[in-house]
C-alpha cells in the first residue's frame, strides 16, 4: 500500500506544528505549501533533520507550487492571517476570504479527492467558502474548531477538579465564536456528571454553578486569552494537535466522534449551514452527525450561535 500523503496549505505557526506532528506520528508523507519563498522549505528541512533523532521515516517537503500537493489524501488549510490583540475572528473575513479563494482553487485542481480540514479563521465562513469553491461533497470538507474548544473546556475542568485531563469528557457545539456552546450537562469525569463533582467539592449548588459559569466563560474566550498573551499571533500548538486528531481518524478510519464544523442537512434543526456538532470521522470523511437532545436553555444558546454563523456566512461575497 502506498504511503498516505498529507498536504498542509499555510506554513506559518500552525502549519509548522502540523508538519512536525504528521512526521512524529508517521501519518504519511508531508508537503508544506506557502506563498512565502523559503519558509516552507526551511521549516521542512529543519523538521526532516530531526528524523534521525526522533526516529520517524517519512518524506517531508516544502514548496511554493500547488502541483506538489497532487494526490494528497488529506489537505489541512491554515493559510490566512491570525488575530492581533483586540481583534475578533470575524474581523479577518475580508482578507482571509481572498486567500481562501486561491487556496480552494489550488486544492480543487491538484487534490480533487482529498479530505479537507479547514483551520483558518473566521472558521465557519472559511470552511463554507472552501466547500463552495472546491465543489467537493460536504462530507469531504470540514472545519476544525470544536476539538480545540472542547479540549480547552476539558482542560479547565481537569485543573479545577484536580483530575487527569484524560478522564474528562467534554463537548462544545455551535460556531467557533464567542457564542459557542459548551455543553455542561453532557460533560463528565469517568462518567460522573461534572456538576455533581463540583457540588461535592464546594458543598453548594450555587457555588458550583458559579465556578462552572467561570469555566464556560473562559472557554469562550480561550482563543483571545492566548492572543492577549502572545501579542503577535494566536494559538498554534493546540489547534494543530486538534486538526491532527481529525486527520488521523480519517486516515486510519478510526470513526472517532469528534466535535467538527460540519455541513448540516436538518440535523439539530439546521439546514444548509456549517456548524460545530459531534461527527463520526472515518475513511468516508464526515460520515455521520450524532444528534443529542438539548434542553430549552441549551437550544437557546445553540440558536444564538447558529444565528451568528448565519450572519457571518451571509457576508461572504
Ligand atoms: O481552531 C482554530 N480553527 C484556530 C484557527 C485556532 C487558532 C488560529 N486559527 C486561525 O488559523 C488563525 O486565525 C489564522 O487564520 C489561521 C492560521 O494561523 P497561524 O497562527 O498559523 O498564522 P500564520 O503564522 O500567520 O500563518 C499563516 C500562513 C503564513 O505563513 C502566510 O504566508 C500564509 O499563511 N499565507 C498563505 N499560504 C498559502 N496561500 C496563500 N494565499 C497565503 N496567504 C498567506
Q: How far is CA 316 from CA 83, 191, 275, 308, in A?
A: 19, 42, 16, 13
What's the whole-number mean pLDDT along residues 61-70? 98
> Mind giving me the DSSP string for 33-81?
E-SSTTHHHHHHHHHHTTHHHHT----EEEES-GGGGTT-SEEEE--SP
The pLDDT of residue 168 is: 98
- Which atom, in ligand 1's list, is nearest to the CA of 176? 3
Would you call 176 a catalytic residue per the annotation? yes
Is pLDDT of 64 > 80?
Answer: yes
Beta pairing partners, 262: 275
**Residue to substitute in 31, 32, 44, 81 for testing ligand 1 pocket (most ligand atoms within 8 angstroms of CB):** 81
Strand, coil or helix: 180: coil
Alpha helices in 115-204 (DSSP H): 123-134, 146-161, 194-202
Ligand 1 surroundings by CB, under 6 angstroms = 9-15, 34-36, 39, 78-83, 92, 96, 99, 102-103, 119-121, 123, 144-145, 148, 176, 223, 233-236, 239
Percent of the chain surpassing pLDDT 90: 94
Q: Could you count the other beta carbons within 10 Å of the beta carbon of residue 24?
A: 16
Rounded CA separation 25/11 (Å): 19
What's the whole-number mean pLDDT along residues 44-70? 98
**Residue to substitute in 34, 126, 180, 225 for testing ligand 1 pocket (most ligand atoms within 8 angstroms of CB):** 34
At residue 313 the predicted structure's pLDDT band, cuts being 50, 70 and 90, is very high
Count the helix, strand and coil residues of the chain and give each as a percent rounded to the nearest 5: 50, 20, 30
- Atom 23 of ligand 1, residue of closest alpha carbon: 12
- Residues 16-41 have pLDDT tens digits of 999 999 999 999 999 999 999 999 99
- Atom 36 of ligand 1, residue of closest alpha carbon: 79
- Name, in order, each residue with C-beta under 8 angstroms of 78's C-beta and a sequence gap of 6 or more: 8, 9, 10, 12, 14, 15, 18, 119, 120, 239
Q: Tell me which H or E stretch contains 279.
A: strand 271-282
| pTM recorded for the entire structure | 0.98
What does pLDDT average to over the chain? 97
- Residues 95-153 have pLDDT tens digits of 999 999 999 999 999 999 999 999 999 999 999 999 999 999 999 999 999 999 999 99
- Residues 234-257 have pLDDT tens digits of 999 999 999 999 999 999 999 999
Rounded CA separation 156/169 (Å): 12
The pLDDT of residue 105 is: 98
- Helical pair 194-202 and 146-161, crossing angle rounded to 10 deg: 30
Contact 223, 87 (CB under 8 A): no
- Residues 191-214 have pLDDT tens digits of 999 999 999 999 999 999 999 999
The pLDDT of residue 84 is: 82
The pLDDT of residue 2 is: 87
The pLDDT of residue 115 is: 99
At residue 178 the predicted structure's pLDDT band, cuts being 50, 70 and 90, is confident
Is pLDDT of 279 > 80?
Answer: yes
Q: What grid cell was written down for 32?
A: 508544506
What are the binding residues for substrate?
83, 89, 121, 152
Q: How far is the CA of 233 from the centre of ligand 1 (A)?
A: 10
Rounded CA separation 141/143 (Å): 7
What's the whole-number mean pLDDT along residues 164-168? 98
The pLDDT of residue 267 is: 96
Amino acid at each position: 500500500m502506498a504511503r498516505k500523503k498529507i498536504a498542509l496549505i499555510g506554513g506559518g505557526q500552525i502549519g509548522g506544528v502540523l508538519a512536525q506532528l504528521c512526521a512524529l506520528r508517521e501519518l504519511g508523507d508531508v508537503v508544506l505549501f506557502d506563498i512565502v519563498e523559503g519558509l516552507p522549505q526551511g521549516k521542512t528541512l529543519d523538521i526532516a533533520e530531526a528524523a534521525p533523532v526522533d526516529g520517524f521515516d517519512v518524506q517531508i517537503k516544502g514548496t511554493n507550487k500547488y502541483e506538489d500537493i497532487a494526490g494528497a489524501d488529506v489537505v489541512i488549510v491554515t493559510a490566512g492571517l491570525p488575530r492581533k490583540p483586540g481583534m475578533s475572528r470575524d474581523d479577518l473575513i475580508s482578507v482571509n476570504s481572498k486567500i481562501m479563494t486561491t487556496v480552494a482553487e489550488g486544492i480543487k485542481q491538484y487534490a480533487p479527492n482529498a479530505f479537507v480540514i479547514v483551520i483558518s479563521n473566521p472558521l465557519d465562513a472559511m470552511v463554507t467558502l472552501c466547500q463552495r469553491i472546491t465543489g467537493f461533497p460536504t462530507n469531504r470538507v470540514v472545519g476544525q474548531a470544536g476539538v480545540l474548544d472542547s479540549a480547552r473546556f476539558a482542560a479547565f475542568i481537569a485543573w479545577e477538579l484536580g483530575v487527569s485531563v484524560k478522564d474528562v469528557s467534554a463537548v462544545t457545539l455551535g460556531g467557533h465564536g464567542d457564542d459557542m456552546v459548551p455543553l455542561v450537562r453532557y460533560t463528565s469525569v469517568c462518567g460522573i456528571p461534572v456538576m455533581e463533582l463540583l457540588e461535592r467539592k464546594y458543598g453548594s449548588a450555587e457555588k458550583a454553578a458559579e465556578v462552572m459559569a467561570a469555566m464556560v466563560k473562559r472557554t469562550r474566550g480561550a482563543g483571545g486569552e492566548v492572543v492577549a498573551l502572545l501579542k503577535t499571533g494566536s494559538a498554534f500548538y493546540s489547534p494543530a494537535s486538534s486538526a491532527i486528531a481529525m486527520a488521523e481518524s480519517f486516515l486510519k478510519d478510526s470513526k472517532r466522534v469528534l466535535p467538527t464544523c460540519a455541513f448540516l442537512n436538518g440535523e439539530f434543526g439546521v439546514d444548509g449551514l456549517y456548524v460545530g456538532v459531534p461527527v463520526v470521522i472515518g475513511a468516508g470523511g464526515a460520515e455521520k452527525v450524532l444528534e443529542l437532545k438539548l434542553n430549552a436553555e441549551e437550544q437557546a444558546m445553540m440558536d444564538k450561535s447558529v444565528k451568528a454563523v448565519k450572519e457571518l456566512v451571509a457576508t461572504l461575497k
